Amino acid sequence: MDKNFIPEDYIPILVQSVVAFGFVAVTMLATHFITSKRKRIRTLHKDENFECGIEIKGNARFPFSIRYFLIAILFVLFDVEIIFFYPWAINFSEMEWMGFFEMLLFMFFLLFGFYYIYKKGAFDWKHDE
């Protein structure tokens, strides 16, 4: 590998940034010229977000229970840990018993975390502080 770099090596990056900015500029200008020159009419329905044809009700920014957030973040945590099982399953036969016990250790930590949050009351929906 040739490790001496000169500024010319970075031309692809320059090209990419020019394309990225150029796309934004061109689309904005193009839509400006393509759209009709008639006076724009603003109505209540025209300004609305189009959401599958269903009428919008209220605002999305309202307070909701922190428990939803907690459940969501715990789901992400456990979901990501499952990813470690895929490479392990592929290499299962090569790693033999050592790999099996290492995965058991990993599962132990995972289940300990589950036990911890369970004991901490993360799933206790009835109890309100």
List residues near another protein by CB under 8 A: 1, 3-6, 109, 112, 115-116, 119-120
The CB-of-7 to another protein minimum distance in angstroms stands at: 9
The CB-of-45 to another protein minimum distance in angstroms stands at: 41
Q: How far is residue 118 CA from its own chain's centroid?
A: 26
Measured from the CB atom, the residue of 22 and 67 that comes closer to another protein is: 67
Measured from the CB atom, the residue of 22 and 121 that comes closer to another protein is: 121
The CB-of-122 to another protein minimum distance in angstroms stands at: 12
Measured from the CB atom, the residue of 1 and 54 that comes closer to another protein is: 1
**Which CA distances in Å does 97 have to 25, 58, 81, 104, 124?**
59, 57, 21, 10, 38
The CB-of-120 to another protein minimum distance in angstroms stands at: 7
Instruction: Retrieve residue 69's tokens.
Output: 């957030």
Name 97's Cβ contacts closer than 8 Å, sequence gap at least 6: none
Q: Sort residue 42 into left (φ over 0), alpha (ψ -120 to 50) or beta.
A: beta
